[in-house]
Amino acid sequence: MSTTRFILNETSYFGYGAREVLLDEIKGRGYKRVFLVSDSSLVKAGVTEKVSSILEEGKIKYELYDEVKPNPTITNVLDGYKRSKWFRPDVILAVGGGSAMDTAKAISILMENPDRDDVVSLNGNSNTKKKGLPMIAMPTTAGTAAEVTINYVITDEERKVKMVCVDPHDIPVLAIVDTELMASMPKSLAAATGMDALTHAIEGYITKDHNIMSQMFSMKAIELIYNNLEKAVNEKDKDAIDKVGLGQYIAGMGFSNVGLGIVHSMAHQLGAVYDTPHGLANAILLPTVLKFNGEVCADLYKEIITTGFGIDATKFTDEEAVKTMCEKVKDLAEKVGITQTVKDVGAKKKDFEMLAEKAMEDPCKPGNPREVTKQDFIDLYEQAW
């Protein structure tokens, strides 16, 4: 049996209002100066203040960096790194979605590995020498699971490429998954990030390198997200929001250790070239790619449909399994209000070859269960048009 590596973060808290533990954790760990990374929309909405007020009450010195973009760039990272060096924090606190957490991870790495301040060299397996500056992650969206993964994604705006940086040195020392912070998400964002989390769970389950432990996490995540996302988005049901918040974290525990597939390879290009929000890009592409991968994944789809969706697929033919899998995922996306196509987010047919070339180089591609060519990518973009 080959050796399997599994990396998880050290401590996590879950639940509505879980941020109440923040001050005790900061003081208990001896942190004195906090570099707070968020984004301006969360600051304007008063979400960041729900966390910064805790720091103020505890008389903890902090510096706010809130210039993070939805698809964070190398410029974002370097601006934040410069501010962080000036402030000299002993911990970085990320409050936000994947963009804030990814930016904070990159800043954390640069603070302890200043030789990598070109940022470009962090792409792929980053092989940094030192652990990043300690980081606390407080997600406000139920989607990326960056709080528990060894990955972060930064856009190289010059080359129009999304860099997927994989580095065990970036994993937060503490995650606080406070679903009260997630409850304030607008419906469209809750839908897109929830479908992003479902994509993580499904791709993590079927990826080439899946193993018993990763599939245990991925299947539970599928079950929690699939059965609760509609209520969480459309009814703002507190219990459903809690379950989706937990599901997206569990999905991260799985895929962080085994990788993803070509839904992400394709979605990354839409984000890099057209600035399409990552969760929305995944939601649009997922049914199309599921059909493509169905040629080699029918048995795994039967397991997902049976255990994750609660429909007995044990006697389904392969064709029935693939058809049902695609239909159920598409139905869920439509129920939470995602009806767009690649065309609707600005993609142009003349760009498909360029997008396909970039997707061929994406670090998520090797994990896909079915081999894929440049022409396959062109055809898949065409089908999602």
The secondary structure of 52-85 as a DSSP string is: HHHHHHTT-EEEEE-B--SS-BHHHHHHHHHHHH
Residue 356 lies in a domain: yes
Of 162, 182, 202, the one marking the end of a domain is 182
Q: How many domains are contained in the chain?
A: 2
- Split at pLDDT 50, 70, 90, the class of 1 is low
Same domain, 348 and 322: yes
- Is it the case that residue 331 has pLDDT exceeding 70? yes
Average pLDDT over residues 61-85: 95
Average pLDDT over residues 305-314: 97
Same domain, 177 and 223: no
Residue 6 lies in a domain: no
Residue closest to 248 by CA, chosen among 186, 177, 301: 177
Average pLDDT over residues 185-206: 94
Domain limits for position 325: 187-383
3-state DSSP assignment of residue 199: helix
CATH number of the domain encompassing residue 320: 1.20.1090.10
Residue closest to 364 by CA, chosen among 307, 309, 296, 282: 282
- Is it the case that residue 5 has pLDDT exceeding 60? yes
Of 161, 182, 203, the one marking the end of a domain is 182
Same domain, 340 and 320: yes
- Is it the case that residue 356 has pLDDT exceeding 80? yes
Q: Return d(Cα 91, Cα 222) in angstroms, integer.
A: 33
Lowest-pLDDT range of 4-13, 216-225, 322-331: 4-13
Same domain, 270 and 172: no
Same domain, 156 and 200: no
Same domain, 119 and 207: no
Q: pLDDT per residue over 93-130, tens digit each?
A: 999 999 999 999 999 999 999 999 999 999 988 889 99
- Would you state the structure tokens that stand for residue 274, as one six-digit string? 């057209």
Neighbours of 327 (CB within 10 A): 12
- In this prediction, residue 83 carries a pLDDT of 97
Judge whether 368 and 293 are in contact, CB under 8 Å: yes
Q: Which residues contact 368 (CB under 8 A, 6 or more apart)?
A: 207, 208, 261, 262, 265, 293
**Percent residues over pLDDT 70 in the chain:** 100
pTM for this predicted structure: 0.93
- In this prediction, residue 206 carries a pLDDT of 98
- In this prediction, residue 385 carries a pLDDT of 86
Instruction: Give the single-character DSSP code of 139.
Output: E
Q: Return d(Cα 194, Cα 368) in angstroms, integer.
A: 21
